[in-house]
Structure 1
Amino acid sequence: MARDIPISRKALFSALAWIIGILIFFPIFWTILTSFKTELEAIASPPALFNFHWTLENYVEVQSRSNYFLHFANSVIISLGSTILGLIIAIPGAWAMAFVPGKRTNGTLMWMLSTKMLPPVGVLIPIYLIFRDTGLLDTRTGLVIVLTLINLPIIIWMLYTYFKEIPGEILEAARMDGASLKAEIIHVLTPMAVPGIASTLLLNVILAWNEAFWTLNLTAAKAAPLTAFIASYSSPEGLFYAKLSAASTMAIAPILILGWFSQKQLVRGLTFGAVK
């Protein structure tokens, strides 16, 4: 029997949720507003919230100074490519950890996740030298490979938790019906875990889209994504806040729109379970 939650407690939780949501979204909101200001209005004190001269000159200058659509295409290819490649590798790996009997699964998962604790700068020089010598420096292929390896532990960990919710008896029944290992993974396991796979894909696209350290150090111009596009507006002459805000808005707009339209799928995947 479900407990009745007092209306006052519901109101309190709703108010707290709104306050936290506003605090999280306000920097994005302020960045968007600043992108429509002039440089003088962007640094004015006290700052103006709405009563300023709205202008699109920052967006025009940002596009004329650098090719936004080239950086956007690079971000799409790198984020989707690294995520899809990661899923191709992670689905069989997570299946093995979830359904193949063994006592070292938890230890392996913890070891994989511990690689995320390593500061990226600790392996920057060897990876840079490998990329330079193999011709992968400043290429989309190189960034797809490195971002796949970086996010692979998270992809496997998430898929493992989703796969563990699927009853093993279903896979055993498929084996008894003569399903091969490939058919079991592709035609039985994967369709049942679509919500979990979709949420994993969305989260890792966001992670790859926002990755700045590797994209700034392993690219120059040809394969530079939107993170490098934003960084180009930090110069020795100083920060041009209005133009930097316009570049940031153009960079985050696609991922904000994706998150808005996929939020139901994301929540469904994060709460996914075959056994309710």
Structure 2
Amino acid sequence: MTTTATAAPRPRAPRRTRSGPGLRGNALGVAAWLAGILFVLPIAWMALTSFHSETDAATNPPSLTASLTLDSYREFFGLDSGASPWPSLINSTTASVASTALTLLLALPAAYALSIRPVRKWTDVLFFFLSTKMLPAVAGLLPIYLFAKDAGLLDNVWALVVLYTAMNLPIAVWMMQSFLSEVPVAVIEAAQIDGARLPTVLGRVVAPIALPGIAATALICFIFSWNELLFARVLTGVVAETAPVFLTTFITSQGLFLAKVCAASLVISLPVLAAGFAAQDKLVQGLSLGAVK
């Protein structure tokens, strides 16, 4: 008579119950909300002030229940005074978009050479790019002005395009080098085996993979170009006047018109805010590339 041994049943692993974020997580969430409100509050206050009259905007303390009006926006768009902001906005758009495109066109091959196909002493090259940003902008103002004057480039928007490209190129190369270092080398080698040349590799292989990083770099270069005031104030006059320079015209000898300045600042900030909102997913993804090795 034979007996069959039965295997003992395996003990079940205890179920893992999901726990909440905890006290620390809740505290971090509250801190993040407070930080967000702290950053948004000045912009919201500026937007509210832009809809007030000059008398209500100048009250101390300011009134939240003051009547709203569109007089400041009518003044900004020249409906009452005749001074149109559109030439300045077009000049800023031209200088920012053209310089950003030219910066990316030059930065992508340079970053490729420093990351995927590194040149000798590539760290020294990156340090040289970064060292060009250590000079204060005002220190190079006089030489650039004299050069633009002798070359006949004063009050020329294309002079700003070249200048903004030179200013943003070191930052673009530095950022894109870290982004392109995450591109798999095997994919590039496979494209080269299939006969792809360098322009094809950059445009059809590297660029799509590093698109979040390229978008983040483009957005930062666009913001820097759009907000630049010092060189635009000195190198331009009437024809190539940019939006930040036009904004300074609201500060007159009669005083500071707070409501008009808030309305002008809000309108001029809208392109940057719109670009940041449209590319926020690419910006966050791009800036996080290379953060964790």
Choose the corresponding residue for 1:12, options 27, 44, 54: 27
Partner of 1:200: 217
Displacement of 1:126 in angstroms is 0.9
Partner of 1:182: 199
Q: Secondary structure at the match of 1:48?
A: coil
2:58 matches 1:62: no
Letter in 1 for 2:268: A
**Relative to structure 1, is the Cα distance of residues 63 and 6 closer, same or farther in structure 2, using a 3 angstrom cutoff?**
closer
- The TM-score normalised by the length of structure 1 is 0.92
Q: Is the 8 A contact 1:229 1:247 kept in 2?
A: no
For residues 5 and 201 of structure 1, what CA distance do their matches in structure 2 show?
Answer: 39
For residues 185 and 264 of structure 1, what CA distance do their matches in structure 2 show?
Answer: 23
Q: Secondary structure at the match of 1:220?
A: coil
The farther-off stretch of 207-216 and 97-106 is 97-106
Partner of 1:170: 187
The farther-off stretch of 261-270 and 14-23 is 261-270
Partner of 2:47: 32
Displacement of 1:5 in angstroms is 7.5
The gaps in structure 1 that reach 5 residues or longer are none
- Note the alpha carbon deviations across 1:115-161, whole angstroms, 9 max, x for none: 11211111111111111121221111011110010011111111111
Partner of 1:220: 237
Q: Is the 8 A contact 1:171 1:188 kept in 2?
A: yes
The farther-off stretch of 226-235 and 82-91 is 226-235
Higher Cα radius of gyration: 2
Q: CA RMSD in A?
A: 1.9
For residues 277 and 119 of structure 2, what CA distance do their matches in structure 1 show?
Answer: 40
Q: Which one has the bigger helix percentage?
A: 1
Q: Secondary structure at the match of 2:125?
A: helix
Displacement of 1:86 in angstroms is 0.4
Displacement of 1:62 in angstroms is 1.9
- Note the alpha carbon deviations across 1:6-61, whole angstroms, 9 max, x for none: 42222111111111111112221111111111112111011112x00111111111
For residues 154 and 165 of structure 1, what CA distance do their matches in structure 2 show?
Answer: 18
Letter in 1 for 2:100: T
Q: Is the 8 A contact 2:111 2:177 kept in 1?
A: yes
Map 1:15-164 → 2, pairs under 5 A = 15-49=30-64, 51-64=65-78, 65=81, 66-164=83-181
Letter in 1 for 2:77: Q
Q: Identity of paired residues, percent? A: 40
2:249 matches 1:232: yes
Choose the corresponding residue for 1:246, options 258, 263, 281: 263
The gaps in structure 2 that reach 5 residues or longer are 1-17
